[in-house]
Amino acid sequence: MAASDQPDARPIGVFDSGIGGLTVVSALRRLLPNESIYYLGDTARLPYGGKSPATVQRYSLEIAALLLEQNAKTIVVACNTASALALPLLRETIPVAVTGMIAPGAQAATAATRNGHIGVIGTRATIKSGAYERALREQNAEVRVTARACPLLVPLIEEGWLESEITDKILMQYLQPLLDDGVDTLVLGCTHYPLLRPAISRLLGRAITLVDAAENCAAELRHLLEREGMNAPPEQMGQLQVALTDPPDSFLQIANEALQLEVGEIQLRQL
């Protein structure tokens, strides 16, 4: 039962350090086609993955304020690093509900694992924060977690080398220790990584289940909108507005092609 009888046409605010978060937008569009989305990619200051908690928190608060100015009814932190470092602070500070990537990813992983041993890959900052370990243990205190920072994967994806011998070698350099350790499930703990999913699947084979939080994040948001009675009008055609803090480069085309999102004119916003 909705908390209000009026549908809520306001957009969902989504942000990421760059445009990796468009993998989450893609899942939101499929699951919630009536919802409008205002996406902010902080391309002028990306990447966040090697930066300190204080800096990532400051940036996240600035962006959340901008999304509220855009009349966002709720905010999705479509960036694992910002979710890992800034979610509690955002929830204390922002007057709308905030959904992150970590809890949805942890739920999907604990549901998928058979041997209770889960691998997590992410940026340096995400892994260092221990946020995935905490979220996984909240789901299941018995779970074993092996986490590994993979700082070269984002630049590799932005270079567009999604399938190459070098990519395979870098992936195996990062993933072999997790395999040796016996994980049966691997969380792709960065919103860029789904673009490497074909290569990772090919290298790891079917014995390892890959978990990407985007679908679960979209499902969590759908529950939230229903619970709070904030769904868009059923007749609404959801719009997608993308804003970036620095003009887009070639990666936007890579993301467009890989995600088949219709990204129209891009706004520039200075932060």
* Phi/psi at 19 (5° precision): -120, 10
Q: Do you find a cis peptide bond into 194, omega within 30 degrees of 0?
A: no
Q: Tokens 């990204």 belong to which residue?
A: 263
Binding mask 161-200 for a second copy (x = CB under 8 A): x---xx--xx--x---------------------------
Q: How far apart are CA 43 and CA 32, in angstroms?
A: 26
Rounded to 10 deg, the angle between the 250-259 and 22-31 helix axes is 30
Nearer to a second copy, 55 or 253 (CB): 55
Per-residue b/e over 69-89, b at no fewer than 16 CB within 10 Å?
eeebbbbbbbbbbbbbbbbeb
Half-sphere exposure of 250 (CA within 13 A, CB side): 6
Q: Which of these segments, 8-16, 61-69, 147-155, 228-236, binds a second copy (CB under 8 A)?
A: 147-155
Nearer to a second copy, 97 or 152 (CB): 152
Phi-psi region of 182 (alpha: psi -120 to 50; beta: other; left: phi over 0): left
Nearer to a second copy, 108 or 156 (CB): 156
190 is catalytic: yes
Nearer to a second copy, 115 or 173 (CB): 173
Q: Which of these segments, 41-49, 73-81, 178-186, 208-216, binds a second copy (CB under 8 A)?
A: 41-49
Binding mask 88-127 for a second copy (x = CB under 8 A): ------------------------------------x---
Catalytic residue among 14, 32, 190, 240: 190
Residue choice 45, 91, 117, 144 for contact with a second copy (CB under 8 A): 45
- Smallest distance from a second copy to CB 20, Å: 14
Catalytic residue among 14, 40, 79, 154: 79
Closest CA to 101 of 3, 220, 235, 244: 220
